[in-house]
Chains A and B, each alone.
Chain A
Amino acid sequence: MVTTSPSLISEGAALRVHGVSKRFVSPDRSEFTALDNVSLSVKPGQLVSLVGPSGCGKSTLLRMIAGLETPDSGDLLVGTEKITAPCASRGLVFQDPNLFPWLTVRKNVQAGPTARGVRNETKQEVEEFIRLVGLENFADAFPHHLSGGMAQRVALARALINHPQILLLDEPLGALDAFTRMRMQDEVLRLWRARGTTMIFVTHDIDEAIYMSDSIVIMSPRPGRIEEIIPVELERPRDRSSAEFLALRGRILKMLHFAGDEH
């Protein structure tokens, strides 16, 4: 794969998911298998997308990497360390920004340092991060004054200020309009390049996955499995209308049975 990736200067960490399975019991007592023997390896500083129809377990996998769920079997490792509980070194950004509505933008960004007891040491940094996501004029605003894109930028800043080794993004741009979305894609890429964080990115949008990722993990539902891992070796910044881009897009759509398949 791309050897001159920012991983060389990165704070990102390697992630290994090894034979992970997870079953859930639904309210009507029927069991279903969210993840079935899933294995995945991500190099430090890589940006990997998880793509697949709903119910394929991509969010469950992400929550497991965050430490919010525990696998029934299998291991998840960051570097050589097993994931057992949530940790500030693994940030998570949801589709809904989930800003704390009772805190101003500044205090939301500050939430991580406050929780870790390093608030005073990071005052300067908080301001830098607010500037990084372009919200210096809204530092004292409450979340209900922000647009969806602005709120998601705050959520990114709030996750990034902890300097996570791995940043998990669960459809973070899913609720945004097409233009804001493309702008935010570039913003995430800029942050990723600047910091070399390992990123795992769940998305429904195949264009977004191709545009952003080093490799795309195609998942299939019932039971949740990894169908295929496709490396994306296009030059960055990527041209969404280039022939290679479109060819890759067609290949993935076919894999997901959306493109030109006769029924």
Chain B
Amino acid sequence: MAESSSSVASASPESVAVAPALHRGWLAKIGFPLAVAVAYGIHLSISKEEPPVETRNYSILLAILGGLGLFAGILQFFLTGFRRWMQEMWPILAVAVLLFSVAEIVTTGVRLLPLPYFPSPPKILQSAIDDRVLIWESTYHSLFLLARGYMLGVLMGLITGVSIGWFRTARYWGMPVMKIVGPIPATAWIPLALILSPSATLSAICLIAIAVWFPVTMLTASGIANTRSSYLDVAKTLGAKPSYLIFRVAIPAAMPNIFLGLFMGLGAAFLTLVVAETVGVKSGLGWYLGWAREWAEYGKVFAALGIMAIFFSTIMTGLFALRDRVLVWQKGTIKW
């Protein structure tokens, strides 16, 4: 263990700032396969009475996870970086697996929760597998819709934000509009959007764009307006023209703020996406969720929730990764 910590310290200067791994004991090394084994045992003993079609895939999934866990346990002896990642992640993954076991005990095991509404994890998995084509299509539709709406909103938000932040006339006329119209939740525009727009998809794109546009505009504008005047002074004495001042000084200086707006906008976009798909658009994960609920297929409802969790968190993670790339110059100063 001593040699593992020293090899980490010498790996790269940045990793020094990272907190040392919390869990270094034997539990950290075999915790995950052990948790899977426990879950497997619980699963077998509880689901004896259940129809095998509904439970077999869950058994297979647990077996695969257990196999991967054992394989990883061997792999860590050869890869230092992987070992560090494993020490960091193993406890979380182990607890996650055990939480599914708890869910299985509470549902199928002791039948604590009313039944059609709270299916067991094996049934949820089976629902997802049964409906995989539709779920895949729904995810694809949601992603495509979200991407169009978000891009449009970001583009509009950056244009209005930079204008309001930089030009005094734009600020004078734009700010009141932003302050009065901006705080209206995008979903409140739904009735109007349905009347005005020829297609449900187009109106959904516009709604998402509006939801994104407001936070991006406000934060971009404040970032631009608060550009340190000494940066602008320096740039002017270096011979900068207005375009340089805007695009190469004010916008980079506002970038941390702009990213705050992008994150807030993304959250608003998720919300608007799901609502728009529930009320208007006849495709996507939001639509699928409502459709499954109407048919009282609660396994599919939970499956859809699970897919959404993965879908949204992956996109969020992507935006975080982009931020870390763009704001690399801030490294060490941002903590959010």
Contacts and interface: CB of A to CB of B under 8 A. Distances in A.
Interface of A: 63, 66-68, 86-88, 90-92, 94, 96, 98, 100-103, 111-112, 114-116, 142-144, 158-159, 162, 168
B239 A87 contact: yes
Contacts of B244: 114-115
B70 interface: no
A162 B330 CA distance: 27
Interface string B221-253: 000000010110111111111001000110011
Which of B231, B239, B253 counts the most chain A CB atoms within 10 A?
Answer: B239
B52 to A, nearest CB: 60
Contact of B329 (A63, A67, A144): A144
Looking at A86, A90, A116, A159, the one whose CB has the most chain B CB atoms below 10 A away is: A86
Contacts, number: 76
Contact of A92 (B234, B255, B328, B332): B234
Contacts of A112: 238-239
B329 A142 contact: yes
A99 B330 CA distance: 13
Please indicate which of the listed interface residues B234, B235, B241, B244 has the most CB atoms of chain A within 10 Å of its own CB.
B234
A79 B331 CA distance: 46
A162 B238 contact: yes
> B228, B236, B237, B239: which has the most chain A beta carbons within 10 Å?
B237
A174 to B, nearest CB: 14
B248 to A, nearest CB: 7
The 3 closest A-B pairs by CB, nearest first: A88-B239, A86-B236, A112-B238
A66 B331 CA distance: 33
Given A94-B230, A114-B248, A115-B244, A102 B329 contact: yes
Given A100-B249, A102-B329, A103-B329, A162 B233 contact: no
B12 interface: no
A147 to B, nearest CB: 15
Contacts of A67: 236-237
6 contacts: A90-B237, A98-B230, A100-B234, A103-B252, A112-B238, A112-B239
B6 interface: no
B230 A101 contact: no
A148 B330 CA distance: 17
Interface SS of chain B = helix
B233 A102 contact: no
Given A68-B233, A103-B329, A144-B332, A88 B249 contact: no
A217 B231 CA distance: 28
A102 B255 contact: yes
- Among B228, B238, B333, max chain A CB count under 10 A is at B238
Given A100-B252, A102-B255, A142-B328, A92 B237 contact: yes
A88 B238 contact: yes
Nearest to B328: A142
Contacts of A92: 233-234, 237
Choose among A90, A98, A114, A115 the residue with the greatest number of B CB atoms under 10 Å from its CB.
A115
Interface in B308-336: 328-333
Contacts of B329: 101-103, 142-144
Given A102-B252, A102-B253, A142-B328, A115 B333 contact: no
A88 B237 contact: yes
Contact of A115 (B239, B252, B328, B330): B239
A135 B234 CA distance: 21
A119 B76 CA distance: 49
B209 to A, nearest CB: 28
Given A96-B230, A102-B329, A144-B329, A91 B252 contact: no
Contacts of B252: 100, 102-103
B290 to A, nearest CB: 45
B238 A68 contact: no
A100 B244 CA distance: 13
